[in-house]
Structure 1
C-alpha cells in the first residue's frame, strides 16, 4: 500500500516545497487541497496545469486526489454545485489524479432530504467523472460521517464513477467500529484517510499512534481485503485500497508541530502498522511466524 499526505492543513505552501517534503520523506503521493487560496485549484489555466504535472512527474510523486468543496447533500439549486463539481473533475483529469473529493455538507437538511439531494447530484457527477476518466469520492464527513450514511447514498447512486473516501476519525466519532465501517464501505472504497486524536472530546490532532484511534485494526482490515482481492485492480470495490493518506491539520490547529518534523515519524509508524498487519495475516494463513528464541 502506498502512502500519501494531505496538503489540507498547509495553506499556500508552494508546489516545489510540497514535493521536496514528499520525496524527501519517502511518501508516494499527495492529496492536494483544491481551494482558490491554494497554488493548485480549478481556476488554474492550462499552462499552469501542465507545469504542475511536470513538477510532480519530475519528483516521482503522484497526485492522489484533488480535494474540493462541492457539498453534494447541501440544500439549494443543483446547477452551481454541479458546475463546481465539473470544474473539480476537470482539474483532476488534467493533473492525472484518479480521484476528486467532495463533502456531503447537508447538516441543515433532514436525512431523507440530504440523501435524495446527494444521490441526485452524485449520479450526474459520477457520469461526468467516468467521461473524464476519474472518480468522485464522497468523504465520510459532517451530515454523512459514518459508513452507514455514505453507503446508503452510494448504494442508491449505483454508479462506479462514485465512491467513498473513508476518513477514519469521522466514522469513529460517529460510533462505528472499523470492521462495521469497512464492511459498509467495501464496495465503494477509493482510499483511506488517517489521523489521530487524544479522545472523542479532544479533537487536537496527534501523530498516528499517539492517540486512541483504532488504526491498527484499520490496517488489518485493509490488508485482509488486499489479500482476498481478485485481479490487479483494487481501486473500485472489494474493500481493498491502494493508498493510505495522512491528513495534517495545522491550518486549523496552529499549535501542531511543523510538517517536516512529523513526516518521518508518521511514515515509519504507518509502515510499521502495515508490516504488522501483513505479518499477522501471514501467520493466520499457516506460515510459521518467527518468534524469539
Structure 2
C-alpha cells in the first residue's frame, strides 16, 4: 500500500500527538500524590482547606476534623444530601480527591460498651467514606494496657480490623490501621496485620511515629510491612533532651523521612504522601499557611518537578 504525502503528514501528526499524550501521562503518573491532613489547619473551614490545597497543587485532602469538629459524619459539610453535594462539587471543581478519613476509633480493648462505641464510630466513618468516594478510613490499634496480655491485645485489634474489613468491603472502602502509640515496632505491627489478614484492611505508615519510638531504619520497616502499606503520614521531628520532640518543617529534623519516601517511590508506591502537621494537638506550631505551603515546596523539590 502506498501513501500520499498528505496521508503521511496526517498519520505523522496523529503519532506525534499520541506520543505527547503518552509522555504527559507518564510524567503525570510519576509525580507523587501530595495531600495534607486537616489536623494541620484545625480552624479552617473545609472551603479554606480546599482552596489552599488547589493553590499549592496538592492532589488530595485527608480529613481529620473540620473547624475542630472531629465527628465527621456530623460535620456541616456532610450532614445533609445538599451539603454533601455542594462539598463534592467544590472538590471536583478544584481537581481534588478525599484520600482518607481519620476516625478516633481504637480496638485494643475487649468486648464491652467502650469497644462497641468505637466500632460504631468506625462504621459511621466507613459509611461516609462510601458516600464521598474516599478510599480509606484510618483507625488506631492503640495501646498495650499494662494489665492485659500483649498477645491478647493484638488479637483484639486484629479482630476489630477484620470486622471492619468485612463491613467496608461491600462499600468499596479499605480500613487502615495507623502505626501509632504503643504499636510502633515493626514486629508487633506485622503480627497484628497477619492476624487481621483481609483484602480491605491495610496500614497507614506514619514514619515519624515509628522511628521516634524505635529508631528502626525505614529499610527494615518497609521490608516487613510493604505488603500492607496503603497510605502514609509524613512529618519531621527534632529529638530534644529528655525524650522531648519538636515538630519541624520537612527536612529540618532528625527523622530519616526521605529514606522512607524514596523506598516507597522506587518500589512503585501509588498512594498519597500526606502531610500531618499536628497543629490541632500542638497549637504552638507554625501556622498552616506556612507549614502546608512549605511541605509542597520541599516535596516537589525532592521529586524534581
The answer as to whether partners of 1:90 and 1:132 remain within 8 angstroms in 2 is: yes
The answer as to whether partners of 1:50 and 1:95 remain within 8 angstroms in 2 is: no
Equivalent residue in structure 1 for 2:92, among 46, 57, 64: 57
Equivalent residue in structure 1 for 2:154, among 107, 115, 136: 115
Q: Does 1:223 align with 2:265?
A: yes
How much does 1:39 deviate? 7.8
**Any idea what the Cα deviations from partners look like across 1:193-235, whole Å, max 9, x if unmatched?**
1111111623221010111110221122112211xxxxxxxxx
How much does 1:66 deviate? 0.6
CA distance in 2, matches of 1:35, 1:73: 27
Structure 1 residue runs of 4 or more that deviate by more than 3 Å after TM superposition: 34-37
- The number of equivalent residue pairs is 263
Aligned to 1:233: none
Equivalent residue in structure 1 for 2:122, among 75, 80, 85: 85
Q: Does 1:205 align with 2:229?
A: no
Aligned to 1:234: none
What's the RMSD between the two structures over aligned residues? 2.0
Q: Does 1:100 align with 2:169?
A: no
The answer as to whether partners of 1:223 and 1:274 remain within 8 angstroms in 2 is: no
Aligned to 1:46: 81
The answer as to whether partners of 1:12 and 1:38 remain within 8 angstroms in 2 is: no
Q: TM-score, normalised by structure 2?
A: 0.80
Aligned to 1:4: 35
Aligned to 2:62: 31
**Any idea what the Cα deviations from partners look like across 1:84-116, whole Å, max 9, x if unmatched?**
111010111111111000011234244212111
The answer as to whether partners of 1:30 and 1:61 remain within 8 angstroms in 2 is: yes
Change in CA separation of 1:34 and 1:259 when aligned onto 2, cut-off 3 Å = closer
Greater alpha carbon shift after TM alignment, 112-121 vs 28-37: 28-37
How much does 1:254 deviate? 2.0
Aligned to 1:185: 225
The answer as to whether partners of 2:108 and 2:154 remain within 8 angstroms in 1 is: yes
Equivalent residue in structure 1 for 2:104, among 69, 90, 114: 69
Q: TM-score, normalised by structure 1?
A: 0.83
CA distance in 1, matches of 2:70, 2:259: 36
Equivalent residue in structure 2 for 1:245, among 259, 271, 274: 274
CA distance in 2, matches of 1:46, 1:195: 35
The answer as to whether partners of 1:13 and 1:38 remain within 8 angstroms in 2 is: no
Q: Which has the larger radius of gyration?
A: 2
How much does 1:35 deviate? 7.5
CA distance in 2, matches of 1:80, 1:36: 23
Give the 5 Å matches for 1:214-293.
214-226=256-268, 240-275=269-304
Aligned to 1:232: none
Greater alpha carbon shift after TM alignment, 117-126 vs 32-41: 32-41
